[in-house]
Copies of this chain bind each other. A is one copy, B any other.
């Protein structure tokens, strides 16, 4: 492998240590402990693991968590009532509703009930709209795109003036990340399932981001030699040799692409740990802002 490894696990540990210190300072100077409320609905095992990991990461840096678990059969109005009570709770600075929700619930309405100043996941469309506008700041950037930007900037990879190609246009990753790269003066192209001659488009990239959820979709022929490759995908593929019977791979064929890229994120240990670190940071910032306003 020739590419430099963009080690998200190690960078996330550094950031968590910085957050831990800032949490301690906030407690000393203002007597405020940042608080994150997590709302987990139903019994999706992956969601349960994600929420548990986020709560554990919070506790390790001194962020208090408020755990709410609701059955899959819960009514829309009961969820809304819970979110509203958390919105009013003075010790809850951030609210995270773990997605996906059971199909009978209206995710848009529930997420919209989270007030902007507690929307530490950054999923409100107001945030999305402001991310691409130079000179304006979204209340909170969504965690995964923010983690990608941080991986670039903390590794001294310049964004301004470079061609960034984002593969995937979801409202939670691809689209906000494209807007954040644009606001940082990249020339941004957004590709998706309807893009013609995809490999010729992705080969234009100085910075290529894959966020489509297709295992090892990005092969070496799609990457310009020397490009920086950020792999957002986390996909399970069967592997009888592994104890669990599967292993995790990204949207990028790491073995191939790491031979021609100049830098690349691994999966696992790349973007994933950064997402959790950015959630902690958003929660810290929410607590700082709310304690200033009070």
Contact = CB atoms under 8 A, between A and B. Distances in A.
Nearest to A200: B204
B125 A130 contact: yes
A185 B192 contact: yes
Interface in A23-47: none
The 5 closest A-B pairs by CB, nearest first: A128-B129, A129-B129, A125-B129, A185-B194, A189-B189
A160 B194 contact: yes
Interface string A164-181: 000001010001000000
Nearest to A162: B196
Interface centre among A134, A190, A204 (most CB of B within 10 A): A190
A195 interface: yes
A94 interface: no
Interface residues of A, number: 32
Contacts of A129: 124-130
Interface centre among A129, A191, A194 (most CB of B within 10 A): A129
A133 interface: yes
Number of copies: 2
Given A125-B130, A132-B169, A169-B132, A187 B195 contact: yes
A182 interface: yes
A48 interface: no
B189 A188 contact: yes
A201 B164 CA distance: 12
A90 interface: no
Contacts of A160: 194
A276 to B, nearest CB: 24
